[in-house]
Amino acid sequence: MKALVFERFGGPDVLHYQDIPNPSIGPTDVLVRTKAIGLNFADVYRRKGNYHLTGKPPYILGYEGAGVVEEVGAEVSHVNVGDRIAFADVPFANAELVAVPQDKIIAVPDDISFDAAASVLLQGLTAHYLTQDSYGIQPGDYVLVHAAAGGVGQLLVQIAKLLGGQVIGLTSSSEKAKAAAQAGADYVFLYEDNWVEQVKEVTKRGADVAYESVGVTLEKSFEAVKTGGTVVFYGMAGGDPAPVDPRMLMDTSKTLTGGDLWNVLVSYEERKVRSQQLFEWISKGQLVLTDPVVFDLKDGAKAHELLESRKSTGKILLRP
């Protein structure tokens, strides 16, 4: 099979397309021929060597994709050859064929495209637990969303609106502000402005919750939420945050909570229930995905360049 691989850590130029042996499957696995593969910042971090990789080169990136079952392990009972499935946390996805454990299989309804499934799972499942587990949004809540034009950001905006929230988006440019507004944000402010004061002016008391994914803005997020408000910290795309003084939390009755998807997707049932909710929202038109930017898998280096440029506002997919 063909795969996008690399032998050493570095920039996008270390990626190249070549033939490698097909993966073998065990009795509880299925072999999937990929139709669409999601690209995420975690792939960039692994390519650079920021994340630990097991095994020996050539390394294969990718943890998210969708496709058709081509072979079924002897002990797999609920999946058949030809089934449309997706996965959100299976390694070596940047290839024509991927071995997927049966407990990580997510069935894809007929009315959901492979592109949509590969676009929404990691980011959509993240937005799902952030808005229902890390902090349960209630009707009327003021919800502050960092990086509101990004993949997770746009989904957070839409889900928060579905749950009855008033959404304030933060973006780095006027162009991205338009994308956040199109996603449904009631207000959009730019990082270059005094957004803390703007949030307070709109809400009169501060936001009920801030979804913090930038890192270096954590202190300002606390300033922007009300007394008794919550900051959900789930990323640091802009750099490490400053330490938080627990006395500030006590004095203001504010809450800091963290979130990581892999502490939530701990079973087949969790994947099934949460993904079904996402697919239902998409089918009903309540969750709208922007058209992805699609690259041929052989042009994966160009896809990485675009992702790192931070000029994209939607999902980037790789097509085998």
Q: Where do the structural domains in the chain lie, given as residue ranges? A: 2-120+263-319, 139-258
Alpha-carbon distance of 168 to 181, in angstroms, equals 9
Res. 313 pLDDT band, cuts 50 70 90? low
State the amino acid at position 257 in one-letter form. Answer: T
CB of 289 within 8 A of CB of 264?
no
What pLDDT score does 273 carry?
A: 95
What does CATH list as the number for 139-258?
Answer: 3.40.50.720
CB of 119 within 8 A of CB of 292?
yes
Between the alpha carbon of residue 137 and those of residues 62, 130, 293, the distances in Å are: 31, 9, 31
As a whole number, mean pLDDT of residues 33-59 equals 89
The tens digit of pLDDT for each residue in 233-256 reads 998 888 889 999 999 999 999 999
- Token pair belonging to 19: 């033939």
Work out the burial of residue 30: count CB atoms within 10 Å of its CB; fewer than 13 is exposed, 13-18 middle, 19 or more buried.
buried
**pLDDT over 90 (residue 41):** no
> pTM (2 decimals)?
0.91
The tens digit of pLDDT for each residue in 119-174 reads 999 999 999 999 999 999 999 999 999 999 988 999 999 999 999 999 999 999 99
Cross-strand pairs, 296: 319
What pLDDT score does 45 carry?
A: 86
Cross-strand pairs, 106: 86
What pLDDT score does 235 carry?
A: 87
Q: What is the average pLDDT score of the chain?
A: 94
Which CATH superfamily includes the segment(s) 2-120+263-319? Medium-chain alcohol dehydrogenases, catalytic domain (3.90.180.10)
What pLDDT score does 234 carry?
A: 93
Residue written as token pair 């009755």? 253
As a whole number, mean pLDDT of residues 175-182 equals 94
Alpha-carbon distance of 229 to 208, in angstroms, equals 5
What pLDDT score does 260 carry?
A: 85
Give strand ranges (E) for 7-164: 16-19, 29-39, 59-60, 65-72, 84-87, 97-101, 106-107, 142-145
Between the alpha carbon of residue 175 and those of residues 96, 160, 304, 310, the distances in Å are: 35, 22, 21, 12
What does the angle CA 24 – CA 30 – CA 33 come to, to the nearest 5 degrees? 85
CB of 287 within 8 A of CB of 278?
yes
What pLDDT score does 165 carry?
A: 98
As a whole number, mean pLDDT of residues 284-290 equals 92
From the list 109, 113, 132, the residue with the least C-alpha distance to 280 is: 109
What pLDDT score does 232 carry?
A: 97
As a whole number, mean pLDDT of residues 80-84 equals 97
**pLDDT over 70 (residue 68):** yes
Is pLDDT larger for residue 260 or for residue 220?
Answer: 220
**pLDDT over 80 (residue 314):** no
% of the chain surpassing 70 pLDDT: 100
DSSP codes of every residue in 6-22: ESS-SSGGG-EEEE-PP
- Token pair belonging to 29: 């696995």
From the list 188, 169, 167, 158, the residue with the least C-alpha distance to 281 is: 158
CB of 6 within 8 A of CB of 58?
yes
